[in-house]
A = this chain, B = another copy of it.
Amino acid sequence: MTAAKPLVFDLSTCFGRGRVTSKHLKSFEKMLIAAKERVEREVAEEKLGFWKAPELQAKPKNLAAMANLVASWQGHYDTLVVVGIGGSALGTRMLLNALTHRYHNELSAEKRGGMKVYLLENDDPDSFEALWSAIDPLKTVFNVISKSGTTAETASQFATVLQRMRKLYPNSWSEHFVFTTDPEKGVLRPFAAQHGIACLDVPPDVGGRFSVLTPVGLLPALAAGIDIQGLLKGAAAMSRRILEAPAERNPALRIAGLHVLADTAMGKNMVVVMPYADGLRDWTEWFCQLWAESLGKRSAEDGREVRAGTTPIKALGAIDQHSQMQLYMEGPDDKFFVFLHVEAFEKKVRFPGKKYLPDELNYLSGHTMQELIQAELKASRFALSRQGRLSYEIRLPKIAAETLGQLIFWAEATTCYAGYLYGVNPFDQPGVELGKKFAYGLMGREGFEKFKQKIDKAPAPKEDHLL
Contacts and interface: CB of A to CB of B under 8 A. Distances in A.
A303 interface: no
Number of copies: 2
Interface of A: prevailing SS: helix
Given A8-B467, A356-B159, A123 B439 contact: no
Interface in A139-162: 149-153, 155-157, 159-160, 162
A329 B435 contact: yes
B375 A443 contact: yes
Q: How large is the interface on A (under 10, 10 to 19, 20 to 34, 35 or more residues)?
A: 35 or more
A107 B134 CA distance: 7
A274 interface: no
Interface in A303-329: 307-309, 311, 313-314, 316-319, 321-329
A128 B349 contact: yes
A303 to B, nearest CB: 14
A364 interface: yes
A465 B370 contact: no
A466 B248 CA distance: 10
From A85, A87, A254, A439, name the one whose CB has the most chain B CB atoms within 10 angstroms: A439
Interface stretch (A35-43, A58-66, A196-204, A456-464): A456-464
Nearest to A349: B125
Interface in A153-188: 153, 155-157, 159-160, 162-163, 166, 187
Interface in A186-226: 187, 191, 208-209
Given A101-B130, A187-B358, A121 B363 contact: no
A330 B307 contact: yes
